[in-house]
Amino acid sequence: MMADVFQQSVEYPFSTLHFGNDADRQFQAIVAIHSTALGPALGGCRLVRYTSTNAALTDVLRLAKGMTYKAAFHHLPFGGGKAVIIAPEKIRDRRDLMNAYGDFIDSLGGMFITAVDSGTGPDDMDIVAKRTKHVVCASKQFSGTGDPSPHTAKGVLRGIQAASKYLFKSDQMEGIHVLIQGVGHVGIQLVSLLKTLGAKVSVSDVNQQSIKTCQDRFEVSVVEPEEVYSTPCDVFSPCALGQIINASTAKQLKAKIVAGSANNQLLDGSYGELLRKLGILYAPDYVINSGGLLQIAYRNDQQLMAREIDRLYERLITIFEQSSRQGVSTNVIANQMAEDFLRESKLKHPLPAVHA
């Protein structure tokens, strides 16, 4: 039985919810729009198996809010939204499924711009782009921005360096032990960046093929998934799915820093405070993982993207310093920054709308 969505909105506020269903094409999807105060809602499309429709609904609502805050933190002209496609046990025709998704997005009339997320990639967005103009992350052939994962990984690296500078007084990665949970599109890019800088890298993933691909390319140690939280390291970098920091896992952590690309890493915001009390420095997820959004916003302008990704370093240092001075968690500080800008409801640096 599906939960009362208006009761859920108390914990996970939203503006509008949209449900798509096409049994012939195995298509079941939810788009959640959290806010359009700053512009059309922008968010990725997640294609994963869910245990229930309720689980999918909770996921999309949490993710949509995170996108609002991510765009507001960077003063970008986008609102926050997210899409989830509830993956069938076996997809008969992926093109047909993505065509259905493209039709669904087009029916929303531009209030939501879709992008990639877990389970989808630029090839999927190419299919969607044939059905709607309200899409990014497609290939150049469709005037898209392409794969955002390299830029997301660059932002995570800058975030790890900022946290290391703040805590260890040096942002040099030589000899720093980083344990990466999840070596998919972003995780494996992060491995490459860290290894180039001389870091010691351990990896963990439930997907053994992803582990093998990583081991074939890099010298890394492998940590079993059940030991990932209790393994000693300098930096724990969650780069898979979210809600992994809870009362149990937080107390198992042997890391001094949590800094990764996963969305919604905290089971809820209160666990940021638990990490603070445990002496673990947390880089707020929607700040450190925003490199992909910056790529989309700045339309692959290499100079602008490099500048804005580099700014993540200083902005995270500011968050860490304010957290220490005010005695509150880093995620609370990041939220305050985003909410201050949302209240202003005006843009300091207007950008062309990507859906035009």
CA distance 62 to 285: 13
Whether 138 and 161 map to the same domain: the answer is no
Q: Could you say which of 107, 122, 142 is where a domain stops? A: 142
- In this structure, the answer to whether residues 123 and 181 fall within a common structural domain is no
Both 133 and 200 in one domain: the answer is no
pLDDT of residue 347: 47
Is 348 a domain residue? no
> Which residues share a beta bridge with 135?
114
**Three-state helix/strand/coil letters over the chain:** CCCCHHHHHHHCCCCEEEEEEEHHHCEEEEEEEEECCCCCEEEEEEEECCCCHHHHHHHHHHHHHHHHHHHHHCCCCCEEEEEEEECCCCCCCHHHHHHHHHHHHHHCCCCEEEEECCCCCHHHHHHHHCCCCCECCCCHHHCCCCCCHHHHHHHHHHHHHHHHHHHHCCCCCCCCEEEEECCCHHHHHHHHHHHHCCCEEEEECCCHHHHHHHHHHCCCEECCHHHCCCCCCCEEEECCCCCCECHHHHHHCCCCEECCCCCCCECCCHHHHHHHHCCCEECCHHHHCCHHHHHHHCCCCHHHHHHHHHHHHHHHHHHHHHHHHHCCCHHHHHHHHHHHHHHHCCCCCCCCCCCC
| Whether residues 52 and 201 fall in one domain | no
What's the whole-model pTM score? 0.93
Q: Which residues participate in catalysis according to the annotation?
A: 82
C-beta neighbour count of 264 within 10 angstroms? 19
CATH number of the domain at 180, please: 3.40.50.720
The pLDDT, as a whole number, for residue 346 is 52
Q: Does 351 reside within a domain? A: no
Whether residue 223 lies inside any domain: the answer is yes
In a domain, 72, yes or no: no
In this prediction, residue 226 carries a pLDDT of: 96
Give the CATH number for residue 123. Answer: 3.40.50.10860
Q: Do both 9 and 154 map to the same domain? A: no
Cβ atoms 54, 2 nearer than 8 A? yes
Residue ranges of the chain with per-residue pLDDT less than 50: 1, 347-356
- pLDDT one-digit tens code per residue, 114-168: 999 999 999 999 999 999 999 999 998 888 899 999 999 999 999 999 999 999 9
Whole-number Å distance between alpha carbons of 112 and 82: 8
Let me know whether 116 and 158 are in one domain: no
Other Cβ atoms closer than 10 A to 337: 19
Q: Do 253 and 119 fall into the same domain?
A: no
> Is residue 353 domain-resident?
no
Q: Is residue 35 assigned to a domain?
A: yes
pLDDT at res. 250: 98
Cα–Cα distance between 277 and 193 in angstroms, integer? 31
Residue finishing a domain among 93, 111, 142: 142
Q: What is the pLDDT of residue 2?
A: 58
Structural domain includes residue 259: yes
pLDDT tens column, 197-240:
999 999 999 999 999 999 999 999 999 999 999 999 999 999 99
Q: Are residues 114 and 221 in the same domain?
A: no
Domain count, the chain: 2
pLDDT for the residue numbered 149: 95
Q: Say if residue 128 is in the same domain as residue 174.
A: no
Q: Is 163 in the same domain as 290?
A: yes
Beta bridge partners of 80: 35, 42
Domain co-membership, 110 together with 203: no
Q: Residue 350 domain-assigned? A: no
142, 161, 186 — which closes off a domain?
A: 142
pLDDT for 193 equals: 98
**pLDDT reported for residue 14:** 94
Residue 45: domain span: 5-67+78-142
Same domain, 182 and 136: no
